[in-house]
Structure 1
Amino acid sequence: MAGPAPSVAAARNAVRAATADLAPGDLVLVACSGGADSLALAAATAFVTRRSGVRAGAVIVDHGLQPGSGGVAADAARTCRGLGLDPVEVRRVVVGSDGGLEAAARAARYAALEDVARDRGAAGVLLGHTLDDQAETVLLGLARGSGARSLAGMRAVRGLWRRPFLGLRRSDTEAVCTANGLAYWQDPTNGAAGTPLRSQVRARALPALEGVLGPGVAEALARTADQLRDDADLLDGLADDLLERARREVDVAGTGGDQDGRGIVLGVEVLAGAPPALRRRALRSAAAAAGAPAGALGHTHVAALDALVTRWRGQGPLHLPGDLRAWRACGRLFLRPAPVVSGHTHQHHQE
């Protein structure tokens, strides 16, 4: 008897490896949009978990950003139930504006997935990101000048999130859907002017690069992410140590601290004495921890923060993504959400 198509076998093997540590009875949820990547993931997960004893469900997040999004979500839920996934839950979210529409939609989506996983007691959430998505992430990081962490791309496993398909191409997931008779949704606006930047990179930029440089650009970008990830992990650990020492400087001094518990306060002297590459990485991490969407933090934001530490001329406060403010006072660097004050402007006391 002939075995499954190569693409189907590859998808199943990827899910099998990504869920090998789960025990029978554990619940894993598939994040499903109705597109080829997530439907292929749902089909492979349903097949693998029937044999492993792991329970598998699905979450469909309806962002409400396009006409008919509710119908797309309902169709995806119906397909997931037909595959045997249970529970299957649709969550409608309200997308804000912090960091731009794309970043806000991502934040709303991940928050919804995390809520359902917590409510259901799930051991993990499977995401359908492919090698193509990894390549797009690296290319966007290059374009934004976001540094080595962005170039390191997405991790296969990070906490609750698992990405089994990072070694598969989008053409593989489409082939899986075809082999399983699954009709997948395709965004009719994909790549059009005014659509999210990632969609335009997918539809226009990467094909243009392959047209000039030849095939294999996506694979090369994904390899770049793999090679940089260990380096980025090491530097992140050193940056975390630097931030901890900068926090301790504030604690030991006993002045200028974060009295109301909002935001982050760091000692400037410790930061100023660190190597520039490490200091800037620490500042990016601190801004993200204080509330700035990591995907919206660009080189100019980090450079401006670095200038508060190393080239202080009385500038500030800085306005950062996520409505975050940063300023320097009394040998301290403050990163806090924008103050909500009616009737007058909040003043920062500068050095």
Structure 2
Amino acid sequence: MGALRAAVERALAELGPGLYGVACSGGADSMALADLAIDIAGGSHVVVLTIDHGLSVGSERVAADVAAWARSRGAAGVIRRVDVERRAGSGIESAARDARYAALDELAAELGLTAVLVGHTARDQAETVLMRILRGTGPAGLAAMPTATLSHSSNDGDPSVPIVRPLLAIDRDAIDTYVADRALPIWDDPMNVDHALARVRIRAAILPMLRRENPMVDHALLRLAASAAEWLAVIDGLARPFARFPIDCAALAQHLPAIRKRAVALALEHHGIGWDTTHLDRIDRL
């Protein structure tokens, strides 16, 4: 419990005084994070944000229960319902994630939040790395989820509210222990056991198989992500001077492919435009 609390205390201290949003689905990870944020910062400085995707039976009731719990702890509880629209080449997981972060962006702007905290843990990070490997990611994808990133709440791509992941180095056992010790209410999402979803299959089947080959595979995936993030920081430093539209193609052409592609990726990200390695390869060949 000490490492868990210390992680949240450190994140809030780095953010400084303000009004913190905590994205909370009602699951163990986000409930532990919300409870700790309220305990550390005080309820008047926390808004518990529940995004109702409407994808599970009873999701509206769960959202209402989470908001009621937040209010019982002295924090504000806010619910935002979103419509999840599938796009060509995009699964329901990706569409739900995009809708969720768009809603969090909107709420952060509306409520004047200093940051939005999300409850991703070490297990989520390991799963993300493995999922991206299976899909053929590049070096940036191997870095997986950063501990903090900037959202883009406006159409012109101006960065706004930080998205912070204080629990990214915390394993699930610590979360479960905290939840049990605090007797926190938990609302399980039926989608977490839906094997039609890639992340569920990775969690329930692929990772357990890999653990039989290497019991430390989760730690290996986390080390890979950390190492990739270190290298990515170097490449970003070299690419960022060129990462603006219109791109100075003549100057950028003097650099290595990794720098050229990353400059384009950063420019696209700044304007809220998605990309994958195939897009970058095609652009680089122009």
1:240 and 2:240 correspond: yes
Letter in 2 for 1:301: H
Letter in 2 for 1:19: L
Structure 1 residue 281 displacement after superposition:
2.5
**Identity rate of aligned residues, in percent?**
39
TM-score (norm 2): 0.85
Any residues of structure 2 matched to 1:1-351 within 5 Å, and which?
7=1, 9-24=2-17, 26-50=18-42, 55-85=45-75, 87-98=76-87, 99-159=90-150, 160-195=162-197, 197-214=198-215, 216-244=216-244, 247=246, 249=248, 267=249, 269-270=250-251, 272-289=253-270, 292-294=273-275, 297=276, 299-307=277-285, 309=286
Structure 1 residue 171 displacement after superposition:
2.3
Q: Which residue of 1 aligns with 2:159?
A: none
Instruction: Compare CA radii of gyration and give the structure with the larger one.
Output: 1
Structure 1 residue 231 displacement after superposition:
1.4
Letter in 1 for 2:79: V
8 Å CA contact 2:122–2:172 kept in 1: the answer is yes
8 Å CA contact 2:118–2:166 kept in 1: the answer is yes
Letter in 1 for 2:83: V
CA distance in 2, matches of 1:145, 1:203: 21
Which has a greater percent of helix? 2
**Alpha carbon RMSD of aligned pairs, Å?**
2.4
Q: Which residue of 1 aligns with 2:155?
A: none
8 Å CA contact 1:191–1:204 kept in 2: the answer is no
Q: 1:284 to 1:33 in 2, by over 3 A?
A: same
Offset from partner CA, 1:196-229 (integer Å, 9 cap, x none): x222222222222112212x22122112222221
CA distance in 2, matches of 1:290, 1:119: 21
Structure 1 residue 172 displacement after superposition:
1.8
8 Å CA contact 2:242–2:252 kept in 1: the answer is yes
DSSP 3-state at the match of 1:20: helix
Structure 1 unmatched runs, 5+: 1-6, 250-266, 310-351
- How many residue pairs were aligned? 273
Q: 1:271 to 1:145 in 2, by over 3 A?
A: farther
Letter in 2 for 1:18: A
CA distance in 2, matches of 1:210, 1:156: 25
Structure 1 residue 248 displacement after superposition:
5.3
Structure with more relative contact order (C-alpha pairs < 8 Å, separation 6 or more): 2
Structure 2 unmatched runs, 5+: 151-161
List structure 1 runs of 4+ shifted beyond 6 angstroms: none
Structure 1 residue 127 displacement after superposition:
0.7
CA distance in 2, matches of 1:34, 1:97: 24
Structure 1 residue 286 displacement after superposition:
4.4
